[in-house]
Amino acid sequence: QLQLQESGPGLMKPSETLSLTCTVSGDSITNRQFYWGWIRQPPGKGLEWIGSIFHTGSTYYNPSLKTRVTMSVDTSTNQFSLSLSLTSVTAADTAVYYCVRDSHYYDSSGYYLVSDSWGQGTLVTVSS
Amino acid sequence: SYVVTQPPSVSVAPGKTASITCAGNDIVSKSVHWHQQKPGQAPVLVIYYDTDRPSGIPERFSGSNSGNTATLTISRVEAGDEADYYCQVWDSSLGQYVFGTGTKVTVL
């Protein structure tokens, strides 16, 4: 049974760099059927996709966050990570951050992804 | 950027049918997935690729996609269906997801 567990600091200061890790159990991060992604949700608000990564390092990023985001995979520990440069506005990046598994397939029209499993989420508060 | 709109709220009586829309330009050309989120919990996938249902999701949940609107339909609504519902749109030409604004379903 797949389990996704986020870990990282709960409190950050503006303009710092946030680093979060997702530990995957019950599946191999090198499984060719899946990408691995991050989605966030500010308190009381909707969902925002951050990005998705394949075990080879191939990535898809949200264009609105692309300049501040780096994702990576560590196949030796079955983990993937998010690095986000925080803005100077505290509320902008305060959110629950979820890691997800993205099932994917490819055909002549392109790649297709769906977030089919979610971690429980971790709250990151940005405050000076 | 691609914009997807959902109604903020839908109210439905138990046993009736709830329809939640997800509107976007030519959304029929994209892949639409639906997630259910109950208070304090992580979302759960309930419909993927417009019409498919993951194992364990009741047949009461169904989806469709046509023109500029995708729809999640919940038949024979139960109290336990009360939740926020988000459409997630995958645009294969741009290689990106966009989420809808979310719809709160209230069971009267």
Return the ∠ at Cα A90 (arms to A89 and A94), rounded to 5°.
Answer: 125
Q: How far apart are the first and last CA of chain B?
A: 36
The answer to whether the CB of A1 falls within 8 A of the CB of A76 is: no
Instruction: Name residues of chain B where pLDDT drops below 50.
Output: none
Q: What was the pLDDT predicted at A105?
A: 86
Q: How far apart are the first and last CA of chain A?
A: 40
pLDDT tens digits, one per residue of B85-100: 999 999 999 999 999 9
Q: What was the pLDDT predicted at A58?
A: 95
Per-residue pLDDT of chain A (128 residues; tens, 9 = 90+): 999 999 999 999 999 999 999 999 999 999 999 999 999 999 999 999 999 999 999 999 999 999 999 999 999 999 999 999 999 877 889 999 999 999 998 888 888 999 999 999 999 999 99
Say which residues have a Cβ less than 8 Å from residue A24's Cβ, sequence separation at least 6.
A2, A3, A4, A36, A78, A79, A80, A101
Interface check for B49 against chain A (CB to CB < 8 A): the answer is: yes
Q: What was the pLDDT predicted at A89?
A: 78
CA–CA gap between residue A119 and residue B6 (Å, rounded): 25
CA–CA gap between residue B71 and residue B56 (Å, rounded): 20
- A contacts of B92 (beta carbons < 8 Å): 109-112
Say which residues have a Cβ less than 8 Å from residue B59's Cβ, sequence separation at least 6.
B53
CA–CA gap between residue A65 and residue A63 (Å, rounded): 5
Q: How many CB atoms lie within 10 A of CB A81?
A: 20
Chain A residue at shortest CA distance from B95:
A60
Distance between A15 CA and the closest CA of chain B, angstroms: 26
Select the residue of A63, A111, A121 nearest B92 (Cβ to Cβ).
A111
- B contacts of A61 (beta carbons < 8 Å): 96
Which residues 7-36 on chain B approach chain A with CB closer than 8 angstroms?
31, 33, 35
B27: helix, strand or coil? helix
The answer to whether the CB of A99 falls within 8 A of the CB of A3 is: no
The answer to whether the CB of B24 falls within 8 A of the CB of B10 is: no
Cβ contacts below 8 Å, chain A against chain B, sum to 63
The answer to whether the CB of B61 falls within 8 A of the CB of B72 is: yes
The answer to whether the CB of A72 falls within 8 A of the CB of A81 is: yes
Strand A95-107 relative to strand B69-74: parallel, antiparallel, unpaired? unpaired
Distance between A30 CA and the closest CA of chain B, angstroms: 21
Which tokens sit at A93? 């990046």
Q: What was the pLDDT predicted at A106?
A: 85
Distance between B38 CA and the closest CA of chain A, angstroms: 12
Q: What was the pLDDT predicted at A43?
A: 96
The answer to whether the CB of A29 falls within 8 A of the CB of A37 is: no
- Which of A4, A38, A41, A47 would you mutate first to test chain B, the one with the most B CBs within 10 A? A47
Residue ranges of alpha helices (H) inside A1-128 are 90-93
C-beta atoms of B98 and A49 within 8 A? yes
Q: What was the pLDDT predicted at A108?
A: 83
